[in-house]
Every structure is written in structure tokens, then in C-alpha cells.
Amino acid sequence: MRNQNIPKKILHWYDNNKRVLPWRKQVSKKKTEYFTLVSEFMLQQTQVKTVIPYFNNFINKIPNLKKLANVKETRLMKCWEGLGYYSRARNLKKTAKKIISEFNNNLPSTIEELKTLPGIGDYTSRAIMAIVFNKPIIPLDGNVERILKRVFYLKNEKETSKESLIKKKFFFGKSNRSSDYAQAIMEIGALVCKPANPLCFECPISKNCRSFKKNDFEITSKNKFNKIKYFEANIYQNQNKYLLIKNSKFKFLNNLLIFPMKEVEKNKFNTSLNKKINIKMSNMDMKIILNKKNKLIKIKNSYLVDKKNIKDLILPSFTKKIFNSVSNYL
């Protein structure tokens, strides 16, 4: 099924339709390495359109690897605030320090070495190899997977396994523009071969696509349901000030300020007569009981925070959402 013209078709489409993204700017090799490193960390678990303003702000505040390695954690977290998955930011700083100390300030140029860096796994290492070092590698992200499933009309679980899809990558062939080519394939998946309502008549490889010929574009994928978790949050309030604690309980919000809260059973949530709110996170749906407490108490690692000052604090997005809900509910 491989066609010699496929790389040519895909790159022609890319040259005429690619998005203008800040990490794709024509800059020095050193800046390309840094821009790619930062963007790939941000793009883990986060969509491109969300990342763009955060990337621009991050680069303005922390413009190179040395500054990243030496940045204070409070400033780093402030630059990352709102993106979530804060462990990515901490791993990014650890990676910067390791690149400087162990790789002479140069981004490692092999998959094996890249995977020794904190926060870099199989996909990110391959993306860096392709984009930065122009290696003939097609990273297998969700966009590439979707193209392969449609091109080969793959439906059952065995056919759509990661191992099976890796073997199908031969379809794309190779190009001496490996960096552009890897990005071009992912770009087609993002802009044309979309999960719903694909734009097949704009696709440069539709004639090579079995799903297009069958007029059947439904993608078989594993169902990914957000977990539903139930919490009870205590809102200790004194006039306009609220008590927050430094989190040590929930791993995904390590050391960030949250309302005192604990996970509860579904039955307790359903039977509670107190006010409740729902907050959708990228990895879970949080259903939270709000317990208003008029009397402040002493809690270890707690802070009194004035609501008007929350924009100046490093807070997880869901803490801010609770703040916004408090005035409406309590």
C-alpha cells in the first residue's frame, strides 16, 4: 500500500496549510532545541490551542535553558499556572539541570539518552529526535494513530493496538525533510483527519485511504471516561479571607495551595444537604461538598488568603474555581 508520492503529497499540503506556531519559528539551533523541549512538555496532556499563550509567556519569562535550570520554583509555578499537571514543570526544570550538568548544555541526540531525562518517555524522545535532529522517525501520537486506523480501515482491538499501528507506519515512507514530515503528518491528523467530521476532500492522501473509499470514518478506540471522584471541602472564612493549606495529600497537586478537603464516598456526597459544585478537570470530574466554617482553626501549613489577591498566588485551577463558586453558593 506504500506509495512513493505520499511524502511529496503530505509535504506539499503542509507547506501550504501548516499552522503558525511559536515553537516552529526559524531560530538558532540552540533556541530550536529549547523551544521544542518546552513545547513538548507542555503538549503532554494539553491541546495546542491551550498551550500557545502559556508557551509565549513562559519563553518571555524564562528564555533559555540556563535560566530554566536556575529559576526559583515559585516563579516556575507561576509561569506554568493554569496548565495543570504541575509535575511537568518540575520535571522540565530537572531536565534542564541535567542537560547542563551531564550533556554540556546540549540536548541529547539519541532516544536512549533523551529517555534518561526526567519527564521524557518514548513519545517525547521520538518527537524531539524527529523535530530537532531531523531523524526519519514518525512519533505515534493520537493524530498519527487516527490516520493509520482510517488509511488501513482498522476496526478491531488487535488491529488498533499500539504494536500493530507501529508496524503500519511503513505507509508513510521517508523524506529527507524528516523534521517537517513528522510535523506534517501530525498536522494532517489535527486539522484534516479529525476525530469527528474529517475533511477528506482537503486530505492529500484520501485516494490512499480505505475508510474514504468505504465512506466509513468511525474510529474504534478505547473508551476513556473521566473518573468521578467525590470530595468534601471545608471553607474556613473570616470576612474576605479564606484558609488554604499546602497540599500533601493529593499527588496531582503536590505542594500547591488548596482548601482543606478530603475524598468521600459517593453515598455521603448524595446524602449531604450542604451546597455542592461540580468541577471538570482534564483527568477527572470532581464533585465537591462545600462546608462553610465561620470559626478559623489552626491547621499545619495553612495560610489566610484574601480573595482579591488570588490572582497573584500560585494556585491550581480547581482552587480558583472553588473560590469563584464560594461567592455564589455560600
DSSP state of 171: G
Residue 40 is among the residues annotated as catalytic for this protein: yes
Q: Decide if 257 contacts 245 (C-beta within 8 A).
A: yes
- CA-based radius of gyration for the chain: 23
Residues in the chain: 330
> Which of 40, 145, 187, 232 is flagged as catalytic?
40
Q: Which residue in 210, 286, 212 sits closest to 252, CA to CA?
A: 286
Phi/psi of residue 73, each to 5°? Answer: -60, -35
Which helix or strand (DSSP H or E) is residue 267 part of?
Answer: helix 266-271
73: cell is: 520554583
How far, in Å, CA of 292 to CA of 114, rounded?
Answer: 49
3-state secondary structure of 280: strand
Residues assigned a catalytic role: 40
